[in-house]
Amino acid sequence: MKSPLAESDIVHDVLGIGFGPSNLALAIAVEEHNTGSPREERLSACFLERQPRFGWHRGMLIDDATMQVSFLKDLVTLRNPTSDFSFLCFLREQDRLIDFLNQKTLFPLRAEFHQYFEWAADRMGHLVEYGSEVTAVEPVRDEDGRVAFFDVFSRDPGEPGRTIRRRARNISVAMGLEPHVPPGLELSERVWHNSRLIPGVSELTAAGRSVRRAVVLGAGQSAAEAVDYLHRSFPEAEVCAVFAKYGYTPADDSPFANRIFDPDAVDVYFGSPAEVKQSLIDYHRSTNYSVVDMELIEALYATAYREKVAGHERLRFLNVSRIRDVRDRADGPLDIAVEFLPTGEHHVLEADLLVLATGYRPRDLTRLLGESAKLCLRDDGDALRVGRDHRVETAPEVTAGVYLQGGTEHTHGLTSTLLSTTAVRAEEIHRSLLKGRFADAV
């Protein structure tokens, strides 16, 4: 039996699926366009978010963690430096602008940047429906078989069991990434992905549960932050970092390497042959993947050395090692089998907690788009073909647009899942929407 259906009479020019920073930036671009345009040239937009409120990596908003991109790469500045949706305008409204400037830094606290996102999202509240999980996207065919619209179905947040249908000329998919759990491991009450680090620690602390040993798997920034946070949160516990490297690799944030995140670099990457694209990814992985800020590396090393001098080592680094098995004993600690790769030797760690700082992976768009996914063209490697304007290439009979915000590293490079070009990408998609909607006027 199908759920009761509520239908909207509005045909949206763009309907966003997900309302993280990417679609938030697009919403602001549309809002600023509409504010300065006559009614007949405005775009109708709506955004659907399954969370009950705006949230961006809430589980890793560690109190002293800072952003790894400049505050100038906010939601708007690279698109419109005069926008009142900038981070600086947020600071001015919060009466913290001078205080921030006195720090002489380009990198705000991660928690503060999240406050900025929330501030901007609140101002866009009239365009977003929270608690609205999208369940299906169906093509709308006319009598000639052409597809000019998509019907997007979502759960009604106000009435459980009811589905709402909304029609759109274009959809902007920005669902973010999902936590990656290595094969053979399963999440549980004592095995977490690092995305729930802070709430998990808060729950343990509130319940008065002791942690004698915590293990963190991973060698990237999130892993190092988790090690540091657990070490500080549980002052009596031993914290073990397990990774296959010999040591943490410093992130390459040097000026020339950082140019890989420039908007112009996306043009270069997009137009390159496949082998050049792969070489660029390989050369510059150290700007983003499995790397750690040097300041944190040095802080962790200094802590470990101080403990060694004191003869009480709580911080341990099990390098060149991998976790081979985890057994959860209901009446006791976790048994974590760790292999030292050079010799193949195994030993078992008894631990109260295992945190998997093992990264994220793109969500399965085929499952979301369903029948509509069959209209999207793929390359020889079965990856979606995506134009420079972030629009998926579709079958000839389709004029409705599918835009991707993320999941396009194979076409647009390392910036695909990062904040570096969020504002610029929003402008590019907005411009493409205008071109399709008002072709004669643009």
Are residue 72 and residue 199 in the same domain, yes or no? no
User: Is 116 part of a structural domain of the chain?
Assistant: yes
Full residue range of the structural domain in which residue 277 is found: 255-287
Which of 73-77, 123-127, 365-369 shows the lowest per-residue confidence on average (mean pLDDT)? 365-369
- Tell whether 387 is covered by a domain: yes
Instruction: Tell how strand 213-217 and strand 238-242 pair up.
Output: parallel
Do 338 and 391 reside in the same domain of the chain? no
* Alpha carbons 275 and 117: distance in angstroms, whole number: 37
Residue 79: C-alpha distances to residues 20, 59, 85, 348, 438 (Å) = 18, 29, 11, 53, 21
Could you report the per-residue pLDDT of 278-308, keeping only the tens digit for each?
999 999 988 888 899 999 999 999 999 999 9
Find the mean pLDDT for residues 384-389. Answer: 96
Mean pLDDT over the full length of the chain? 94
Question: Same domain, yes or no, for 160 and 245?
Answer: no
State in Å, rounded, how far the first CA of the chain is from the last one.
46
**End residue of a domain, out of 263, 287, 311:** 287
pLDDT tens column, 92-125: 999 999 999 999 999 999 999 999 999 999 999 9
Mark whether 14 and 119 lie in a shared domain: yes
pTM of the model: 0.94
Q: Is there a single domain that holds both residue 331 and residue 239?
A: yes
For residue 409, pLDDT over 50 is answered with yes
The pLDDT of residue 5: 62
Q: Is 127 in the same domain as 89?
A: yes
Q: Return d(Cα 263, Cα 242) in angstroms, integer.
A: 36
Look at residue 391 and tell me if it is in a domain.
Answer: yes
Examine the domain organization and report whether 134 and 50 are in the same domain: yes
Whether residue 406 sits in one domain with residue 266: no
Between CA 237 and CA 314 the distance in angstroms is 7
Q: Residues near 142 by Cβ (< 8 Å), separated by ≥ 6?
A: 148
How many distinct structural domains can be found in the chain?
A: 3
Tell whether 216 and 341 lie within a shared domain.
yes
Residue 442 lies in a domain: no
296 and 343 belong to one structural domain:
yes
Q: Are residues 239 and 275 in the same domain?
A: no
Residue that the structure tokens 């341990």 belong to: 316
